[in-house]
């Protein structure tokens, strides 16, 4: 399958769009007409062709443009990519996993050949041809996690496991929904989830942690998370909040279909073989309301979900200023008919 | 009293002298001296023979500490000077040394950073909050740190943005997170309210 990569921007003139096929494969995060936090984890196994689950590390039409955007963010703020010193083995694990998965899923675009520790990586979309020695940092242009995550869509956290907890000890975050890697690095699972409302009280994090501590190699898991973003902006970091915050006050009944985006995170978690750390992939997908409206099931469901949200969640996700305008605009697509279970289009 | 329920904030459980330690190293700030004096009341003063006390703050508790028969007592004129000395003491420390920190949260946070940098497990450090509830805050935008923040919002002492003090704490920075409060509508920041007296 040959992907046609789009040239588009996630800032300034915001030329990002989804092709009709990309709309159909969007991982819509609501399996029913309401939403509340839950431990919604399932095995990360391959799904139907034409869905975002077709490959376990998904590469899509936005790949090249997303990598260009990441480059810009890192140039402005190198602290978006950090790794504590004890994480080097986990960095190599991450490099191997992402190279192998991308090569397996998209052999026409990526290839990895190994001859003992002498590895050869070819990334055709980005024009990269790299021979290196696995385990020898001096044979790569930068540390392994940074090297490979500059060539993979999504944010990545590598969490170390010790003292019956998970510790966010390395990561790269340039497409994040308002959390700071620089601030959170070194925190444990409960600490970095500290600001999330409601979920602590209903025991979600305790159960999720218990589950993840037992994650097995070769059996990755996934969950979907979501928020909303004004304009197709990947970098909604707290660092740059003064740059994107004002966008939230620009939504009107006239522009809501074009400006308001559903932002879905396909999060997958992988036990790493050498380090016993866990790679936490946070892959971000954006879709504007006009695009959602082309899928009847989603257009019916989304306004119902937005109406069902508890106020704490509306506030935490930053929807307050434009939720009602969005519900009003979407409601014209909701004829009240029942929706089928599950996330996929009918 | 500090607000409870902030998941990322350390829990300051109290100094609780570990009688099995070969050495006791105290770093105390201001009213933090009282935490040690209370321990002596309940535990007796035997452990002081093996104690080194570093202190920064007003003369009043300093005088009381000086009268104790500790192995070593030292006062610093400012917090940064005390932190330098703490680093030196920890570098020279041997197996079996127990570290105790007491004072304001900003002080405990900075002293803990020194210890963490030297590879000490934070779980092994005994801490007790005393004195003002003022917070040390990192601006998430410019990354500058402002000490002794008593209000929210407050003006970042580095970049000048009005910052909301979020209930989110980084041990690595020894600071809470400050986020621009009027980003969505510049100029709409509410008046500062004293929340951390």
Give the ipTM: 0.91
Whether A116 maps to a domain, the answer reads: no
Do the Cβ atoms of B179 and A238 come within 8 Å? yes
Size of interface A-B (CB pairs under 8 A): 68
Of A185, A190, A242, the CB nearest to B183: A242
Burial B81-93 (b: 16+ CB within 10 A, else e): ebbebbeebbeeb
Do the Cβ atoms of B167 and A194 come within 8 Å? yes
What's the domain range around A275?
20-59+68-84+153-331
Q: Which residues pair with B82 in a beta bridge?
A: none
Do the Cβ atoms of B7 and A200 come within 8 Å? yes
- What are the pLDDT digits (tens) for B7-37? 899 899 999 999 999 999 999 999 999 999 9
- What are the pLDDT digits (tens) for B131-152? 999 999 999 999 999 999 999 9
Alpha carbon A244 to chain centroid distance? 19
Q: Determine the pLDDT at residue B62.
A: 81
Burial class of B119 by CB neighbour count within 10 A (0 to 12, 13 to 18, 19+):
exposed
- CA gap A74, A72 in Å, rounded: 6
Check if A197 contacts B (Cβ < 8 Å).
no
Whether A147 maps to a domain, the answer reads: no
Residues in B lying within 8 Å of A, measured between beta carbons: 6-9, 123, 138, 140-141, 143, 161, 166-173, 177, 179-180, 183-186
Whether A31 maps to a domain, the answer reads: yes
- What are the pLDDT digits (tens) for B160-191? 999 999 999 999 999 999 999 999 999 999 99
- pLDDT, mean of residues A108-125: 98
Residue A1 has pLDDT above 70, yes or no: no
- CA gap A71, A179 in Å, rounded: 19
Whether A198 maps to a domain, the answer reads: yes
Q: What is the pTM of this model?
A: 0.94
Does residue A223 have an active-site annotation? yes
Tell me the chain B residues in contact with residue A182 when contact means C-beta distances shorter than 8 Å. 143
Of A183, A187, A245, the CB nearest to B138: A183
Residue range B23-129, CATH number: 3.40.50.80
Do the Cβ atoms of B6 and A185 come within 8 Å? no
- pLDDT, mean of residues A251-259: 98
The number of folded domains in chain A is 1
Three-class DSSP category at B76:
strand
Choose, out of B7, B169, B185, the residue to mutate when testing the contact with A (most A CBs < 10 Å): B7
Q: Is the dihedral of CA A228, A233, A238, A244 positive or negative?
A: negative
């Amino acid at each position: 399958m040959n992907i046609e990569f789009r040239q588009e921007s996630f800032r300034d003139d915001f030329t990002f769009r989804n092709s009709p096929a990309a709309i159909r494969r969007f991982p819509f995060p609501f399996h029913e007409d309401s939403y509340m936090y839950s431990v919604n984890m399932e095995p990360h196994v391959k799904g139907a062709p034409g869905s975002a689950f077709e490959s376990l590390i998904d590469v899509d039409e936005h790949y090249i443009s997303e990598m260009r955007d990441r480059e810009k963010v890192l140039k402005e703020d190198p602290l978006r990519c950090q790794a504590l010193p004890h994480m080097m083995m986990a960095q190599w694990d991450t490099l191997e996993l992402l190279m192998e998965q991308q090569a397996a899923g998209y052999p026409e675009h990526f290839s990895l050949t190994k001859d003992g520790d002498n590895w050869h990586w070819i990334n055709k979309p980005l024009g990269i041809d790299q021979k290196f020695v696995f385990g020898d940092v001096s044979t790569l242009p930068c540390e392994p996690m940074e090297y490979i995550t500059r060539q993979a869509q999504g944010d990545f956290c590598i969490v170390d496991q010790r003292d019956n907890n998970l510790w966010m000890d390395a990561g790269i975050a340039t497409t994040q929904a308002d959390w700071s890697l620089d601030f959170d690095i070194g925190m444990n699972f409960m600490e970095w989830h500290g600001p999330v409302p409601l979920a602590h009280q209903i025991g979600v994090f305790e159960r999720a942690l218990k589950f993840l501590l037992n994650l097995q190699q070769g059996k990755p898991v996934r969950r979907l998370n979501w928020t909303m973003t004004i304009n197709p902006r990947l970098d909604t970091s707290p660092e740059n909040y003064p740059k994107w915050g004002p966008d939230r006050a620009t939504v009107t009944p006239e522009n809501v279909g074009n400006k308001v985006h559903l932002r879905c995170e396909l999060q997958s978690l992988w036990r790493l073989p050498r380090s016993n750390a866990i790679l936490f992939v946070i892959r971000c997908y954006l879709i504007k309301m006009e695009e959602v409206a082309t899928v009847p099931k989603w257009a019916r469901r989304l306004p119902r979900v937005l109406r069902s949200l508890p106020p704490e969640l509306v506030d935490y996700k930053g929807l307050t200023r434009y939720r009602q305008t969005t519900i009003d605009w979407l409601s014209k697509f909701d004829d009240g008919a029942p929706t089928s279970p599950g996330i996929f289009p009918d | 009293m500090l607000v409870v329920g902030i998941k990322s904030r350390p829990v300051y459980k109290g100094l609780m002298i570990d009688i099995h330690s070969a050495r006791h190293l105290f770093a105390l700030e201001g009213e933090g001296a009282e935490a040690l004096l209370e321990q002596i009341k309940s535990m007796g003063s035997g452990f002081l023979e093996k104690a080194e006390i570093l202190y920064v703050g007003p003369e009043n508790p300093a005088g009381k500490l000086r009268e104790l028969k500790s192995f070593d007592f030292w006062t610093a004129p400012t917090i940064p000077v005390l932190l330098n000395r703490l680093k030196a003491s920890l570098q020279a420390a041997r197996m079996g040394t127990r570290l105790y920190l007491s004072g304001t949260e900003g002080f405990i946070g900075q002293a803990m950073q020194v210890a963490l940098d030297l590879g000490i497990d934070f779980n092994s450090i005994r801490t007790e909050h005393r004195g003002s509830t003022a917070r040390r805050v990192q601006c998430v935008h410019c990354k500058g740190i402002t000490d002794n923040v008593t209000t929210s919002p407050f003006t970042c002492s580095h970049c000048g943005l009005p910052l909301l003090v979020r209930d989110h704490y980084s041990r690595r920075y020894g600071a809470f997170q400050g986020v621009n409060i009027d980003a969505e509508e510049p100029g709409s920041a509410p008046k500062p309210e004293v929340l951390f007296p």
